[in-house]
Amino acid sequence: MRVEVEINGKVRDVTVERDRVRPARVRISWDGTTRDVDARIVERDRDGMLLSLVDVGTAASSRRVRCVAAGRNGLTELHLGDVVVEAVINGRRLAADSPGEAAAGASRLTAPMPGKVVRVLVAPGDQVEARQPLVVVEAMKMENELTAPKAGVVTEVPVTEGMSVESGRLLAAIE
């Protein structure tokens, strides 16, 4: 079986061959690398699966990977212990969410949850850097700084201090 895996912007053409006698044993090859692995699904849920991989080639490394089919960026998330790697599998990615989008065109900052605007830090016309705080929203007992998704010029700030906002409400737009 061939699977196209894109990680960190690099696409690999990966071949997975199952051993006919021991189906849990697979040979995985890509870009001149070959690994023989005993691969098992420990458990499945509707979002993905927990894999246990034991290298049965030269190494003997034992790894636990939780695969989440549709992660927070609409990509497949691979949880390697505490570290998460995101992958595009067979070119599948949610178009609206391609990472390229944040870098070009208009960007909208919306409220991630219901809350109260406690500070507005910019005004239309301001030049802002990526990650610069624009609005502070109090929610879940915390003051949360919401930051610019990209560098640019603020075109709209349709909220004022003290205003209650629903989830998804536009807080600021940048061009």
Binding footprint of other proteins, residue count (CB under 8 A): 89
Pick the closer one to other proteins by CB: 106 or 113.
113
For residue 80, give the amino acid letter: L
State the minimum distance, in angstroms, from the CB of residue 169 to other proteins.
12
Q: To which residue do tokens 């021991």 refer?
A: 22
State the minimum distance, in angstroms, from the CB of residue 127 to other proteins.
20
Residues 16-75 that bind other proteins (CB under 8 A): 16, 18, 24, 26, 28, 30, 33, 35, 37-49, 51-54, 56, 59-74
Q: Give the residue from 137, 127, 141 showing the smallest Cα distance to 169.
A: 137
State the minimum distance, in angstroms, from the CB of residue 123 to other proteins.
20
Among 91, 113, 121, 169, binds other proteins (CB under 8 A): 113
Pick the closer one to other proteins by CB: 84 or 153.
84
Which are the contacts of 124, defined by CB distance < 8 A and separation ≥ 6? 154, 155, 156, 157
Write the DSSP symbol of residue 127: E
What is the dihedral angle through the alpha carbons of 171, 172, 173, 175, rounded to the nearest 10 degrees?
Answer: -160
